[in-house]
Amino acid sequence: MHQHILPGKSYPLGATVAADGSGVNFSVYSRNATMVELLLFSSPEAPTPSDIIRMNIPNNRSYYYWHCFVPGVRAGQVYAYRVHGPYKPEEGLKFDPEKVLIDPYSHLLTDNLYNREAARKPGSNLGSSLRSVVVDFSDYDWEGDTPLNRNGNRTVIYELHVKGFTANPNSGVKDAHRGTYRGLIEKIPYLKELGVTAVELLPVQHFDPNDVPPPLVNYWGYNPVAFFAPHRAYSADNSLFGPINEFRDMVKAFHKAGMEVILDVVFNHTAEGDETGPTLSLRGFENKDYYILNDKNKYLYANYTGCGNTLNANHAVVKRMIIDSLRFWVAEMHVDGFRFDLASVLSRGVDGKPLQDPPILWQIESNPVLAGTKLIAEAWDAGGLYQVGSFAGYKWAEWNGRFRDDIRRFVKGEPGLVETVALRMAASPDIYTDPLRDPARGVNFVTCHDGFTMNDLVSYDKKHNEDNRENNRDGANDNYSWNHGTEGASNNPAVETLRKKQIKNFMILMFAAQGTPLFSMGDEVRKTQLGNNNAYCHDNEMNWFDWGLLEKNEEILRFTKKIIRFTNENEIFSWCSPWMNGGNFGESIMDLHGVEPFKPDLSPHSLSLCFTLKDFWYNAYYHFIFNSFWEPLVFRLPRYANAEGWKVVADTGNDAPYDFFNPGDEPTLPDDKYTARERSSVILLSRMK
């Protein structure tokens, strides 16, 4: 045992290396603990600690913070805690001094010995626990890098899984780099050529993949154990500090390529699960503060997440931890933004009820360190809250789930949606009613990790989740999908032609809509999950990017690149003001039409929509035709006094390569009529004289 332990300080929380290198200050929060033991290990694999430091009252406690300074300790020290206190589960107190706990502020974990079952069962898990590592962040060369702080207009987000993007043997990356941060660096040229400006990484905060019965795993990573630590398994560098250094290398490389890095963060629950779950960290430090408990039985947990527990986000201590975590990822790891999983959970108070003005959300928005950071909310939760259009704040962007559903239904051919789709294309002013709201705060998507892939959306009528071993009960039942005549893969040329056309229709609607487009890894090459719309538990080819699809489905890849380039290069699509003036089509730069100019058919039976965007600043008109009818329709085109003839930019009814023309090669129409084939989308362009 160390002989010269000093009292230390209550701040900062976590393990902090002294500026002069003389030692490390350790500090943790526990309101009801009676003693805290700091365990120091000689290595990640050491079965027992080399030192045990007992922090007692009053020397090592200030208010509810337990702290000490250990001279001689340096970066790389492996450590953990045991916490003594009352075990009164009926009161929400679940202290267990036999359980080894990681620091809630851990910047790095070792999981060489980790056994989830040992952390769940009674008794000591000393020889099979997660452990924390002391990290010094002052020795990394960022080469002048900082977060990019790019304006939201025009951001194109590509949602990807760190492992799944390069895990496939055909990925072309070095074998040692497959499925890692380093592997992503090797694929930056592909993403750059695709035209994306930001990658949104599925969870990289260290998570527990073992909370589902083997051979299944929690592949997506929505199961965090450490909010400050990058996931170790995604590092090609197996050294102690490998994940920290490799993650920073990845961010720096993306920034050099002009692309932002957005993290999908999970601040709504943890891997400790329900009352039967393991004790890993928060439960053992102060269960009743870190979690929202069942109001009738405090042994149980409120479950607004569908994952067993709910983080008590608006408790003062938890709120600070979340903000400290976000600040860390921006200040020390240089990330550019965050997408908050089940963000509506953060609007719930300590009693679980929704708050009018949730403190945590306002404090995140107003924090100066996060001022240039993108904040994106999945504005719903598993407890029934749906806050799309009503989420707190002036800065928060929102995943527009109604855009997804309405566009899917329209492309499928459901009637009664023409006016609704016009609104979706114009930044959804019926949902986001503030006329001064930045349109970029609406994130428009058709598919994401959760649900069908784009290919499966046009290939399956029903979900096929049998491999998840829940008898196909899991996953959404209402997908608004259509198999176009054959369930799953098809050798019928007519079916395949129609499916490709529908994917192109989705791409135009998504990228041309006002707002921030987001699409999912592999949609550009028809990645399939074989109809599984909840593939969270499969670490295999079902989820991995198949790089052989680049050649097989080059037609869709080419089309995707074309539409992204078109909308990126034409300023009207990055407009920072709504196309519609106060939601009024008559007072906007967006004219609505039907088969006749300026006569939109908004009736319930209508299946076609036309609109023109009038860009007076860059002297151009952009005309869109969307025909979801099962027969061709002839459309008369609008005439504008100062306009040249209409040119065809894209027509999904044409075979490739005439589905999207290169700049300068667009054919000019001979007259003011255009026949849009069945289930097709058209883009026309006219320059002002």
- Give the residues across from 339 on adjacent strands: 264, 376
Q: How far apart are CA 526 and CA 455, in angstroms?
A: 5
Q: How many CB atoms lie within 10 A of CB 98?
A: 12
Contact between 582 and 600 under an 8 Å Cβ cutoff? The reply is no
Q: Could you tell me where the beta strands, DSSP code E, fall in 562-679?
A: 590-593, 608-615, 620-627, 633-636, 647-651, 673-676
Dihedral sign, Cα of residue 490, residue 491, residue 493, residue 497: positive
**Active site residue: 341, 539, 615, 651, which one?**
341
685 neighbors 620 (Cβ within 8 angstroms): yes
DSSP tag of 188:
H
Q: Considering only CA atoms, which of 276, 248, 263 is closest in space to residue 207? A: 263
* Cα 419 to chain centroid, rounded: 29
**Residues whose CB is less than 8 angstroms from the CB of residue 616 and which lie 6 or more positions away in sequence, other chains included:** 589, 688
Rg (CA), the chain: 27
Strands (E), 616-679: 620-627, 633-636, 647-651, 673-676
Compute the distance between CA of residue 623 and CA of residue 643 in angstroms, rounded to an integer.
12
DSSP 637: P
Q: Which two tokens stand for residue 538?
A: 């499969």
CB-CB contact of 310 with 268 (8 Å): yes
567 token code pair: 């909308």
Whether 378 is catalytic = yes
Strands 673-676 and 198-201 turn out to be unpaired
Distance, in Å, from the CA atom of 254 to the CA atom of 194, rounded to the nearest integer, reads 14
Question: How is residue 104 annotated by DSSP?
Answer: T
Q: Is 341 a catalytic residue?
A: yes
Are 412 and 679 a contacting pair, CB within 8 Å? no
CA distances, 648 to each of 138, 613, 624, 675 (Å) = 56, 15, 10, 12
Q: How far is 613 from 563, CA to CA, in rounded Å?
A: 16
Number of other residues whose CB lies within 10 A of the CB of residue 205 = 22
Mode of pairing for the β-strands spanning 516-520 and 442-445: parallel
Among the listed residues 111, 272, 336, 378, the single catalytic one is 378
Q: Which of 85, 7, 70 is nearest to 40 (CA)?
A: 70
Residue 581 is classified by DSSP as B
Residue 5, beta-bridge partner list: none
499 forms beta bridges with none
Q: Which residues are catalytic?
A: 341, 378
